[in-house]
């Protein structure tokens, strides 16, 4: 009789232990130091209406997005299946952004945007060629995009290469030279690298305004073009 009672007691303990282990398995496996286990927060995937018609409204959208990014409050937005299905019918981005191809300066990230919001044109040194100008034309003519932003950034490698060529006589090879040639007019021997970066933004805006198709939309008030500077700490300053 005693043996049966002992056996029953052992089985009961095993069952209770097994249930307890099954309920807290994750905590035991992931918490070797006895610290409390904190569940990871998953941001809600938001669907935001981005059917924006005016350049001022578009600029506000970018400023608000950068503010969220800068303060580590970026939203997970406009990337779910519903958004992807919506975009099968076409796109209506509210901003064309001409930026450097630098991996630290990704417009959809620094402006906390989602799919269908930003029409990206990225070339090292945020310069433009005929292909880039054609892409801008397409966005404003066929996608009704009301805002063009030319954004340069701190420590731009392409502008640095142009600056070092002019100031230090450093030679360049390959197609990088083609990019540097576009930036060289913005280099002042008596100014700083940051001055050159800002002048290069202005030079790109001037080049875009020389495109008659784009200028027509700007003159009619349908499109606005602005410059911006991105500090690698996260802040975008519009000019």
Tens digit of each residue's pLDDT (9 = 90 or more) over 136-153: 999 999 999 999 999 999
How does 97-119 read in b/e, with b if 16+ C-beta sit within 10 Å? bbbbbbeebebbebbbbbbbbbb
Q: How confident is the model at residue 47 (pLDDT cuts 50, 70, 90)?
A: confident
Q: Mean pLDDT, to the nearest integer, of 190-196?
A: 97
Q: Mean pLDDT, to the nearest integer, of 80-98?
A: 96
**55-238: which CATH topology?**
Beta-carbonic Anhydrase; Chain A (3.40.1050)
Q: How much is the pLDDT for 191?
A: 96
Q: Mean pLDDT, to the nearest integer, of 79-91?
A: 95
> Is residue 25 pLDDT above 50, yes or no?
no
Dihedral sign computed on CA atoms, order 95, 218, 124, 239: negative
List the one residue out of 199, 12, 178, 205 whose CA is nearest residue 98: 205
Q: How confident is the model at residue 43 (pLDDT cuts 50, 70, 90)?
A: low
End-to-end CA distance of the chain: give it in Å, rounded. 90
Evaluate whether 133 touches 214 at the Cβ level (below 8 Å): yes
Among 14-18, 94-98, 144-148, 222-226, the minimum mean pLDDT is found in 14-18
Evaluate whether 199 touches 126 at the Cβ level (below 8 Å): no
Identify which has the larger pLDDT, 47 or 189: 189
pLDDT digits (tens, 9 = 90+) for 146-182: 999 999 999 999 999 999 999 999 989 899 999 999 9
Global confidence as pTM: 0.81
Identify which has the larger pLDDT, 104 or 8: 104
Binding residues for Zn(2+): 100, 102, 153, 156
Evaluate whether 116 touches 145 at the Cβ level (below 8 Å): no
CA–CA gap between residue 223 and residue 215 (Å, rounded): 9
Binding residues: 100, 102, 153, 156
Q: How confident is the model at residue 189 (pLDDT cuts 50, 70, 90)?
A: very high
> Is residue 31 pLDDT above 90, yes or no?
no
Q: How much is the pLDDT for 4?
A: 45
What's the full length of the chain, in residues? 239
Domain segments of the chain as ranges: 55-238
> Is residue 98 pLDDT above 60, yes or no?
yes
């Amino acid at each position: 009789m005693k043996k049966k009672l002992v056996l029953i007691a052992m089985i009961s303990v095993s069952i209770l232990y097994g249930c307890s282990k099954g309920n807290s398995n994750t905590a035991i496996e992931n918490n070797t130091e006895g610290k409390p286990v904190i569940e990871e927060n998953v941001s809600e995937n938001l669907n935001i209406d981005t059917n924006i018609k005016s350049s001022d409204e578009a600029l506000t959208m970018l400023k608000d997005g950068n503010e969220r990014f800068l303060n580590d409050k970026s939203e997970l937005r406009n990337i779910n299946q519903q958004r992807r299905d919506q975009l099968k019918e076409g796109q209506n981005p509210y901003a064309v952004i001409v930026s450097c191809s630098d991996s630290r300066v990704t417009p959809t990230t620094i402006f906390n945007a989602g799919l269908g919001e930003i029409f990206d044109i990225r070339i090292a040194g945020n310069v433009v060629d005929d292909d880039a100008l054609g892409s801008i034309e397409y966005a404003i003519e066929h996608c009704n995009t009301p805002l063009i932003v030319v954004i340069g950034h701190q420590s731009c490698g392409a502008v640095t290469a142009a600056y070092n060529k002019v100031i230090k006589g450093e030679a360049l090879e390959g197609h990088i030279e083609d990019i540097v040639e576009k930036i060289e007019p913005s280099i002042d021997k008596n100014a700083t690298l940051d001055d050159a970066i800002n002048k290069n933004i202005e030079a790109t805006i001037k080049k875009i305004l020389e495109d008659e198709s784009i200028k027509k939309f700007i003159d009619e008030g349908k499109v606005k073009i602005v410059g911006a500077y991105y500090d690698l700490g996260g802040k975008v300053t519009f000019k």
